[in-house]
Amino acid sequence: MMKKEAIVFDRVTKTFPKATKPSVNETSLVIEQGSFVTILGASGSGKTTLLKMVNRIIEPTSGTISLFGKNIREMPATELRRSIGYVIQQVGLFPHMTIEQNIATVPNILGWDRRKISERVDYLMDLVHLPPSYKTRYPRQLSGGQQQRVGIARAMAGDPAVLLMDEPFGAIDAITRTKLQDDFLEIQKKLGKTILFVTHDVDEAFKLGDRIVVMNEGSIQQYDPPLNLVTRPANEFVSRLIQADDLFQRLQLMKAEDHMLAWTEADAAARTENVPRVRGQDSLRTVLQKLLQHDAPYVAVVNGEEKPVGKVTLEQLKTANSG
């Protein structure tokens, strides 16, 4: 069954005034409903410009962008932006408003009743792992990671089908960033939103994305699932960007869930308390480290409830690397 097209770019170009070349050049791209697409590229590659044209913060010079079959230029800009969640690195919370009021911004604009808004705020705070007591706090009373959780909750408050995210975890320390990535992947599995996520970090792009758009100088170099980029890079630029010839980098860019064996009844019946564990989105490099550290025959792959759903052996690592 074919998935519905959520966002379609048709020969989209953006040239800024006084620029000598386009920031985005004749770009065509189809984003399927429910997919998590990361846009990867260096500074100046055009990735943020591409993202901001979806909610018309930046208007294209030529070409068309469609949202669920409708040309976005035929939609009032305010209506369009209310229907799309938007998360940026700087968060942009209103400092004079409580956390509850920040999250409730879009539902209030949409005219929801108080009970529905309150229920939505409670649901979203639980979803992003913030305690109810934080509702009355102000942004300045939260850490950077907590503020970003509020930003994600606010972006989802109106229940948009599409989320645009521009390096949302870029200004956060590494440990908090990893936790936010893990939690956000769990949220995506529950809600199935269509997500466009801009990043310059190769590891982040591969960890989060179902498919990855690699951009350079305003043009798409490759648009593929992560595994295809590692095993079949489209050109020398893509190969160099992801360091496809480096064994450990290849393993770093492959997910455990893409290479695991099924968890059998025999596995469930065996004693597994000392078996090392990883999550499905963890890299095969992490799997290798666990295998070596514990001298184990396999690593168990667990879901969000810490229940094993598969396993990865050394043979799987060899197969993945040769593939």
Give per-10-residue mean pLDDT for the chain (323 aa): 87 95 96 96 95 96 96 92 85 90 92 95 94 95 91 92 91 83 88 94 90 96 90 91 78 87 84 83 88 86 87 83 63
DSSP structure class, residue 3: P
pTM: 0.83
pLDDT at 82: 83
**Residue 217: predicted pLDDT:** 95
Q: What share of the chain is helix, strand, coil (3-state, %, to 5)?
A: 40, 25, 35
Separation between Cα atoms, residue 6 and residue 78, nearest integer Å:
19
The percentage of residues in the chain with a pLDDT greater than 70, rounded to a whole number, is 97
pLDDT of 306: 85
Domain-by-domain residue ranges, the chain? Answer: 5-243, 256-322
Q: How far apart are CA 309 and CA 97, in angstroms?
A: 43
Instruction: Provide DSSP, 265-312.
Output: HHHHHS--TTS-EEETTSBHHHHHHHHHHHT-SEEEEE-TTS-EEEEE
Whole-angstrom Cα distance, residue 76 to residue 305?
Answer: 43
Q: Is 296 left (phi over 0), alpha (psi -120 to 50) or beta?
A: beta
Per-residue pLDDT tens for 35-46? Answer: 999 999 999 999
- Distance of alpha carbon 272 from alpha carbon 173, whole angstroms: 33
Secondary structure of 102-161 as H, E, C letters: HHCHHHHHCCCCHHHHHHHHHHHHHHCCCCHHHHHCCHHHCCHHHHHHHHHHHHHCCCCC
Q: Which pLDDT score, from 0 to 100, does residue 73 have?
A: 95
Classified by CATH at the fold level, domain 256-322 comes out as CBS-domain (3.10.580)
pLDDT value at residue 28: 97
Architecture of the domain made up of 5-243:
3-Layer(aba) Sandwich (3.40)
* Residue 176, pLDDT score: 83
